[in-house]
Amino acid sequence: MPLSILAIMSVGLVVGAAIQCLAPLNFRPGIFFGVTVDPEFLRTEHARRILWRYRRPIIVMTVLCIAALWLVVPRLSGPAGPIAASALVFLGVGVAIVSMARATRHVRPFAKPLSPIRTVSVIPRKRTLPGGWLPFVGPMLMVGAAWLLLVMRRDSIPLEVYPGPLALLLWAFVSNAHFMSVAWLVTFRTRQINPSGAAAYEENTDTRFGYWLRLGFAYSLTFLLAGSALAVARITPAASPRFVVIWMASLPVSAMIVLAYVLKRRRLPLDTPGLAIGDNTPDACWKWGFIYHNPDDPALIVETRAGTFGCDLNFGNKWSWVVAAVILATPFVIRVLWF
Amino acid sequence: MTPTITIDLNAPIPVYRQIVDAMRHLLVNGALQPGDQVPTVRQLAIDLGVHFNTVAQAYRLLADEGWLDLKRRRGAMVMDRRRPAAPSKERQKQSLQRLRELTAQLQSEGIPANQIASQLRKLADTLVEEE
């Protein structure tokens, strides 16, 4: 594997670990590792110990992964190298998820009952996509343009090559549909936790950031897949390794943008008027801090407990199973029907 | 100041009744003016974390009282409600009885009588000023 790719992956692992370690800074007031607690609990020795227990495996695993990346992966030949490198990344993410689930268990003894008081604004929320419809459908337009180019130049593309670019564009289409639908749901279907004031403004800022992050991923993946499709079809010059390196470098850069946002995000004092403590979801309905099941909650998408600009499906709502099934089954259906 | 409503999911008063009372308070005080849009049933239900039918029932009651105009899929709008005629003597008696029952409930919850009286005097002064 080229050294540049190893360097980029190392930076990505470090930045990813930094994001995971600093993620608790992004929890809502009154939420700690997916459990409703007293906001003052975060200043206690117990909280600091739990935080360290959460961060330690992530730091250790990141160091081990980077060491393996530089010592082991270069000695592997053929596809084993990239597969091993990818496996290390997934291992790092897996350790963070397990660490989060364990931290949730440690916090539960300090849980506080969810407040039954709900305060909501009676001003209808504006239903507009940040930036308008054009940036939102941009990735699909790019896929459509690439597909049109393929169709128009069909005669000049060897028959045995043709399915490959189509498959890449189909992959781009499906992943765009996923990102765009999640971005839409987050914009229009999540609830407002903070009803008014500075807290509501910060919440809306977080929602917009999450929207642009998802859209950014969609554009990035479309750029890679559509570009590769055109290169495979020999419509554009074959993609040089530099193209792949540049694309891969954009991933840790995106991670750094997220990290910068997490660090610079304004954390409001607890006595800010209109600041909601906790959220509107009962602790008992959360599993491991990131799987939510509550048939009594009408929301399809609920506020995440792992930050403030993510979301989770409510598996107590039957439509969330439909959404999850569509996401999981789509690649298999496409494989069976198309190829 | 953003108009808000607050409900208590553990209170003995049904949630739909709490929504009606809170919305009516905003409507009477002028925090919501005729022509203002209020959230759709879906949006309010999701924000409160209650069933859609609960909010729909509350909105229907307010529409029956003449406060809201319910438009399918476009949410509800505050109507220009004419000041109702003075209620009948029987109706006045019932309303005052409800007020007495409310003060009895507050006393049974441990709120001192003089505090209740002081709050009622403040409310009365505010009502007279608004008149």
pLDDT, one tens digit per residue, over B100-118 is: 888 888 888 888 989 888 9
Mutation choice for A interface testing from B21, B26, B46 by most A CBs within 10 A? B46
- Position B73 scores a pLDDT of 66
Together in a domain, A138 and A271: yes
Together in a domain, A102 and A223: no
Q: In chain B, what residues touch A125 (CB-CB under 8 Å)?
A: 39, 43
Task: Assess if residue A120 is contained within a domain.
Answer: no
B47 with A297: Cβ contact below 8 A: no
| Boundaries of domain holding A192 | 133-275
Length of chain B: 131
Task: Assess if residue A122 is contained within a domain.
Answer: no
- State the Cα angle at A89 between A79 and A227, rounded to 5°: 60
Residue in the structure block whose two tokens are 């459908």 = A137
Together in a domain, A26 and A83: yes
- Position A49 scores a pLDDT of 94
Task: Assess if residue A118 is contained within a domain.
Answer: no
CA nearest neighbour of A24 among A307, A275, A264, A288: A307
Q: Which residue of B has its CA nearest to A192?
A: B47
Q: At what angle do helices A133-152 and A163-189 cross, to 10 degrees?
A: 170
The 3-state secondary structure of chain B reads: CCCEEEEECCCCCCHHHHHHHHHHHHHHHCCCCCCCEECCHHHHHHHHCCCHHHHHHHHHHHHHCCCEEEECCCEEEECCCCCCCCCCHHHHHHHHHHHHHHHHHHHHCCCCHHHHHHHHHHHHHHHHHHC
| DSSP symbol at A292 | E
B7 touches chain A (CB under 8 A): yes
- Position A99 scores a pLDDT of 92
Task: Assess if residue A148 is contained within a domain.
Answer: yes
Q: ipTM, 2 decimals?
A: 0.75
- Position A266 scores a pLDDT of 62
How many alpha carbons fall within 13 Å on the CB side of residue B69? 11
pLDDT (tens, 9 = 90+) of chain A, 339 residues, equals: 678 888 888 888 898 898 889 888 788 888 898 889 988 888 899 999 999 999 999 999 999 999 998 898 888 887 888 888 888 888 888 998 899 889 988 999 999 888 888 999 998 877 788 888 899 999 999 999 999 998 898 888 888 888 888 888 888 888 888 888 888 888 888 888 888 888 888 888 888 888 888 888 889 889 888 888 888 888 776 656 666 777 777 777 888 888 788 777 767 777 777 777 788 888 889 887 778 999 988 888 888 887 767 788 899 989 889 888 887 887 777 667 665
- Position A337 scores a pLDDT of 63
The first and second tokens of residue A265, run together, are: 């995000």
Together in a domain, A138 and A230: yes
Together in a domain, A247 and A306: no
Together in a domain, A339 and A305: yes
- Position A53 scores a pLDDT of 93
B4 touches chain A (CB under 8 A): yes
B52 touches chain A (CB under 8 A): yes
- Position A146 scores a pLDDT of 92
Last residue of a domain, one of A228, A245, A275: A275
Task: Assess if residue A196 is contained within a domain.
Answer: yes
> Rounded to whole angstroms, how far apart are CA atoms A224 and A247?
7
Last residue of a domain, one of A275, A301, A327: A275
CA distance A143 to chain B (A): 33
Residue in the structure block whose two tokens are 């859609």 = B52
Task: Assess if residue A198 is contained within a domain.
Answer: yes
Together in a domain, A152 and A266: yes
Amino acid (1-letter code) at residue A284: A
- State the Cα angle at A212 between A211 and A214, rounded to 5°: 70
Q: In chain A, what residues touch B39 (CB-CB under 8 Å)?
A: 120-125
CA distance B29 to chain A (A): 14
Q: In chain A, what residues touch B52 (CB-CB under 8 Å)?
A: 298
**How many domains is chain A built from?**
3
Task: Assess if residue A123 is contained within a domain.
Answer: no
> Rounded to whole angstroms, how far apart are CA atoms A134 and B68?
36
Together in a domain, A214 and A239: yes
The first and second tokens of residue A165, run together, are: 């670019």
Q: Which of A122, A125, A200 sits opposite B32 (nearest CB)?
A: A122
Residue in the structure block whose two tokens are 């809306």 = A204
Q: In chain B, what residues touch A120 (CB-CB under 8 Å)?
A: 4-5, 39, 44, 47-48
**pTM higher than 0.80:** no
Together in a domain, A76 and A42: yes
3-state helix, strand, coil in chain A (%, to 5): 65, 5, 30
Residue in the structure block whose two tokens are 């929504």 = B19
A125 with B51: Cβ contact below 8 A: no
Last residue of a domain, one of A255, A275, A295: A275
Question: Is residue B131 very low, low, confident or very high in pLDDT (cuts 50, 70, 90)?
Answer: low
B8 touches chain A (CB under 8 A): yes
Model pLDDT for residues A121-147, shown as the tens digit of each residue = 998 877 788 888 899 999 999 999 999
Q: Which of B2, B9, B51 sits opposite A118 (nearest CB)?
A: B9
Together in a domain, A239 and A301: no
- Position A83 scores a pLDDT of 85
- Position A22 scores a pLDDT of 86
A123 with B39: Cβ contact below 8 A: yes
Average pLDDT over residues B112-127: 87
Task: Assess if residue A270 is contained within a domain.
Answer: yes
Together in a domain, A268 and A283: no
Together in a domain, A155 and A229: yes
